[in-house]
């Protein structure tokens, strides 16, 4: 179930000793409709590069629930200590007994609490927390004195929960701001009214400073990386995350790191502070160049199906970024595309298909995705309904069909005349299915 509100998670945190108190001043809190995972991944890569002990919590998970939690120490990823995690999970369960909470926390609330306990147990120098849904009433919004609060983007998504206008959605996202704590906002694509709503929320709680972050300058882009320049950073950036939309995310990540650096945060396991000596401009650039964020505009080579573009774009704004990249890197070469898509039933499927299907030479194969562990309420849109919607959006489409499985769809795509480029997209849950089907192409635990 999805439950917004802080009462249950706050009570659970009190029951386990309030780990968020010991993490005060050490957490980077990131909200936004799209891009927040990319920003978190860049922050993690940069802080890992300078050998800090850093934790990261993301939502949703990619393949298995504990994919949501990462830890690095001494410049290396540290595999999740299953024994410690289980002990902390047991501690949470026992502490909640007698508080009417034992069977009343959602899986996401449990993950948030256990992740904070895990980061406290490992004495992280910095923790990075990605908002699950919205912000104001999201379970992650129980932090004390976050080091930085950041918003990546505002667009329509989860309309039935967050509201039908971007201003309503902005009100939810801006609910993560705290009195006296930095509020950083990526301003690319924000209307005047949305900026006004965010500024109003920040001022109401006394956030300070309030910083509007402009996108990085894109110098050049190739298939494996993008080269950018960011204001206030002396070093040029080579970013392995693709798509022009990353200019905004990169700038926000850099601004967050520079702000964190200015705070002089004391490192837990030593006498040093997190200043320019530890986190130099060059170190930030080198760290970001090592960012890994699987399933987001990612080219993969498979033995059976050749080169495939994989992207978890799951709402209209995200799909627009995907299509812009496809137009530049694939259509400019005269190639057609076969889109293999699965979508969650709560999404604006017609809006997403309208963005994707812009060329009659393209083909579409609609499929389901697998059941999602711990989230039985997540359902895929019926493939036949996607096919009907696609035909209404683009009647002249070369080929439009459904398939029972991802494997069947990939084999069908190979048989299409002209060998169109295969693009797998529409949902992170479909991305997860792809990695399960092709585990050799991506080792999620690799550094």
CATH assignment at residue 388: 3.90.190.20
The verdict on residue 1 lying in a domain is: no
* Per-residue pLDDT, 446: 37
Q: Which of 263, 288, 313 is the last residue of a domain?
A: 288
The verdict on residue 18 lying in a domain is: yes
Could you tell me the pLDDT band of residue 116, with boundaries at 50, 70 and 90?
very high
Residue range 130-139: average pLDDT? 94
% the chain with pLDDT above 90:
78
Lowest-confidence pick of 50-59, 103-112, 209-218, 399-408: 103-112
- Domain shared by 130 and 267, yes or no: yes
Domain limits at 117? 7-288
The verdict on residue 405 lying in a domain is: yes
- Domain shared by 306 and 281, yes or no: no
C-alpha distances (whole Å) from 133 to each of 55, 59, 85, 158 are 20, 9, 24, 8
C-alpha distances (whole Å) from 80 to each of 10, 124, 164, 280, 314 are 25, 14, 39, 29, 28
Cα torsion 108, 114, 118, 120 to 10°: value is 110
* Per-residue pLDDT, 410: 97
pLDDT tens profile 363-372: 999 999 999 8
Please give the tally of structural domains in the chain: 2
Tell me the C-alpha distance between 425 and 343, whole Å: 8
| CATH, residue 150 | 3.40.1190.10
Tell me the C-alpha distance between 426 and 318, whole Å: 9
- Whether the CB-CB separation of 32 and 154 falls below 8 Å is answered with yes
Cα torsion 106, 108, 112, 117 to 10°: value is 60
* Per-residue pLDDT, 417: 92
Q: Which of 288, 317, 340 is the last residue of a domain?
A: 288
* Per-residue pLDDT, 243: 94
- Domain shared by 53 and 97, yes or no: yes
Name beta bridge partners: 401.
365
- Domain shared by 199 and 310, yes or no: no
Strands ordered across the beta sheet of 126-130: 76-77, 69-73, 54-57, 126-130, 27-31, 148-151, 183-186, 210-213
Instruction: Say whether pLDDT at 160 is over 70.
Output: no
Name beta bridge partners: 72.
54, 77
Instruction: Say whether pLDDT at 119 is over 90.
Output: yes
C-alpha distances (whole Å) from 256 to each of 133, 259, 261, 295 are 21, 5, 9, 24
Instruction: Say whether pLDDT at 306 is over 70.
Output: yes
Residue range 285-308: average pLDDT? 93
* Per-residue pLDDT, 269: 74
- Domain shared by 404 and 354, yes or no: yes
With the C-alpha atoms ordered 146, 150, 154, 158, is the resulting torsion angle positive or negative? negative
């Amino acid at each position: 179930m999805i439950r917004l509100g802080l009462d249950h998670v706050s009570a659970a945190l009190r029951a386990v000793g309030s780990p968020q108190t010991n993490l005060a001043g050490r957490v980077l809190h990131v909200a936004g409709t799209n891009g927040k995972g990319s920003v978190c991944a860049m922050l993690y890569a940069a802080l890992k590069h300078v050998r800090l002990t850093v934790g990261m919590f993301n939502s949703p998970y990619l393949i298995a629930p504990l994919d949501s939690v990462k830890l690095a120490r001494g410049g290396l990823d540290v595999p999740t200590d299953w024994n410690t995690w289980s002990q902390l999970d047991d501690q949470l369960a026992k502490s909640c007994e007698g508080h009417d909470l034992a069977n009343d926390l959602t899986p996401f609330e449990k993950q948030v609490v256990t992740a904070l306990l895990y980061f406290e147990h490992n004495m992280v120098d910095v923790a990075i927390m990605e908002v699950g849904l919205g912000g104001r009433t999201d379970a992650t919004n129980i932090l004390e004195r976050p080091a930085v609060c950041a918003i990546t983007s505002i667009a329509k998504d989860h309309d039935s929960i967050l509201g039908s206008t971007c201003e309503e959605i902005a009100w939810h996202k801006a609910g993560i701001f705290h009195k006296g704590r930095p509020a950083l906002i990526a301003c690319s694509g924000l209307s005047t009214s949305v900026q006004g709503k965010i500024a109003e929320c920040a001022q109401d709680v006394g956030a300070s400073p309030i910083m509007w972050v402009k996108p990085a300058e894109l110098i050049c882009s190739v298939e494996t990386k993008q080269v950018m320049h960011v204001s206030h950073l002396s070093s040029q950036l080579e970013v392995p995350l693709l798509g022009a939309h990353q200019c905004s995310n990169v700038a926000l990540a850099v601004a967050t790191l520079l702000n964190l650096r200015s705070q002089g945060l004391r490192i837990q396991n030593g006498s040093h502070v997190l200043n320019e000596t530890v986190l130099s401009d060059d170190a930030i650039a080198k760290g970001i160049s090592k960012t890994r964020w699987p399933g987001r505009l990612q080219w993969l080579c498979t033995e059976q199906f050749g080169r495939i573009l994989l992207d978890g774009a799951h709402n209209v704004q995200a799909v627009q970024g995907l299509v812009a990249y496809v137009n530049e890197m694939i259509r400019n070469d005269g190639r057609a595309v076969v889109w293999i898509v699965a979508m969650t039933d709560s999404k604006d499927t017609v809006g997403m298909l309208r963005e994707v299907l812009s060329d009659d030479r393209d083909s579409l194969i609609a499929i389901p995705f697998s059941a999602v562990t711990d989230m039985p309420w997540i359902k895929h849109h019926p493939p036949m309904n996607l096919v009907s919607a696609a035909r209404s959006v683009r009647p002249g489409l070369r080929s439009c069909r459904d398939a029972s499985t991802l494997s069947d769809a990939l084999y069908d795509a190979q048989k299409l005349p002209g060998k169109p480029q295969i693009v797998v997209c529409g949902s992170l849950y479909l991305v997860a299915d792809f990695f399960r089907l092709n585990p050799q192409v991506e080792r999620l635990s690799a550094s």
